[in-house]
Amino acid sequence: MLVIWIGALLMISGVLFMAAQPIFRGRLSGRRSRSGVASDTLEPRRRGVGFGLSRNWPGFLLIALGAFLLLAGVGRYPTP
């Protein structure tokens, strides 16, 4: 049963890792001006990198390892 819980935890942490990458990658808006006037957009100045294997491979690895542990743990408990 512990193997199943560890697998589930690894899968959830892999998904959270992949979701956190674009969120914490850079600023969402430009520098605020000193006059106190807010900018009219929240778009970044440059285009985002996007979703790629090069930045998200640890998340994929955690998900794959978690799936393996889930399948291994389920195989230990036969159905009646």
Please compute, for residue 25, the number of CA atoms within 13 A of its CA located in the half-sphere on the CB side: 16
Domain count, the chain: 1
Say if 57 falls within a structural domain.
yes
- Tens digit of pLDDT for each residue in 49-73? 566 778 889 999 999 999 999 999 9
Give the span between the Cα atoms of 27 and 67, in whole angstroms.
Answer: 33
Judged on CB neighbours under 10 Å (0-12, 13-18, 19+), 17 is middle
Residue 39 domain-assigned? no
Task: Establish if 37 belongs to a structural domain.
Answer: no
Task: Indicate whether 35 belongs to any domain.
Answer: no
Kindly report the pTM of this predicted structure: 0.68
Q: How confident is the model at residue 23 (pLDDT cuts 50, 70, 90)?
A: confident
Q: Does residue 42 lie within any of the structural domains? A: no
